Amino acid sequence: MRKPIVAANWKMNKLKEDVREFVQDFKRKLPHGVLGRVDVVICPSVAHLALFSHEGLLPVGVAAGAQDSHWEDKGAYTGCVSAAMLKDLKVRYAIIGHSERRQHFSESNAMLAGKLRASLRSGLAPIFCVGERLEARDGGQTMNVLGEQMAALSDTPAELLGDPTQLVLAYEPVWAIGTGKVATVEQAQEAHAFLRRQLSTLRGEAWAQDVRILYGGSVTPENFGALIKCPDVDGGLVGGASLEVDKFVKLIEIAAQGA
């Protein structure tokens, strides 16, 4: 049985003291023993990752994640952060290919394939995001879009994909991100099952069954319980609801109940 993951994507939110206050409150409210049943990841701004590594803010069992990672280990890339740098900060996960990166920074599938390879080479576990826009959903092109985006995995050397627990996928329908809309249980399961079939084609059924696939897109405590009951939904990549301690803790509790 795959261990669920609840990953917080804080995006460009919170100042240093906000981070400290959140984590202190989070530690107080997180139920005892829940971290043994759920993997929890918090992805703050890169400006605050050092708080997690140097100040030891996170409770034991909660991993730090980055919101992006470059495709090179070093070089003349102003403003960028490499996977090696993130590992140096004791970061465990890196979000790769979030729709906001694809949209606002024109990140191509080829660029994301490079980021995916660099993360795996450095020992970061990528949370690789895929998802369709509303026009693709309405036009019946969802699976075509997802298949094209999954090509980044096809271009990844087999030796980097040996351990299925080192890869996390996140299905995030773009039309549901920050809109308050959420995919139905049927839509989510259909997309997740398709992604697992793609993984099976890539590396075999046994390997594919061990890869965890998260749902993202306006995840809340009110809708998460139904989503995580889907056989191919293994947790959530959470935006807005992860900024509030009570909501984030509730999402973790919901995931633990199904573990």
Classify 3 as helix, strand or coil: coil
Residue 177 scores a pLDDT above 90:
no
Measured on CA atoms in the order 163, 130, 65, 212, is the torsion positive or negative? Answer: negative
**What is the reported pTM?**
0.96
Residue 155, pLDDT score: 84
pLDDT tens for 22-58 read: 999 999 999 988 999 999 999 999 999 999 988 888 9
- Give per-residue pLDDT as tens, 112-171: 999 999 999 999 999 999 999 989 999 999 999 999 999 999 889 989 999 999 999 999
Domain residue limits at 35: 5-257
Set 100, 107, 132, 172: catalytic member: 172
pLDDT at 181: 82
Residue 14 pLDDT greater than 70, yes or no: yes
Going from the C-alpha of 34 to that of each of 6, 100, 110, 202, 233, the distances in angstroms are 12, 31, 38, 33, 19
Half-sphere exposure of 253 (CA within 13 A, CB side): 14
3-state secondary structure 113-153: HHHHHHHHHHCCEEEEEECCCHHHHHCCCHHHHHHHHCHHH
Distance CA 87, CA 64 (A): 10
Mean residue pLDDT of the chain comes to: 94
What pLDDT is recorded for position 69? Answer: 97
* Whole-angstrom distance, CA of residue 77 vs CA of residue 207: 35
Annotated active-site residue 253? The verdict is no
State the DSSP code for 179.
T
143 to 148, 190, 199: CA distances (angstroms): 9, 9, 14
Q: Nearest 5 degrees, angle CA 46-CA 50-CA 53?
A: 125
Backbone angles phi, psi at 156, to 5 degrees: -95, 130
β-sheet bridge partners, residue 160: none
Is 104 part of the annotated catalytic residue set?
no
Average pLDDT over residues 95-101: 95
Going by their DSSP bridges, the two strands 39-43 and 212-216 should be labelled as: unpaired
Residue position matching structure tokens 């809340």:
220
- The confidence score (pLDDT) of residue 242 equals 98
The pLDDT value recorded for residue 56 is 81
Please count the structural domains in the chain.
1
Q: Residue 102's domain is classified under what CATH number?
A: 3.20.20.70
Catalytic residue among 48, 98, 100, 192: 98
Segment 183-238, tens digit of pLDDT: 899 999 999 999 999 999 999 999 999 999 999 989 999 999 999 999 999 999 99
pLDDT of residue 259: 63
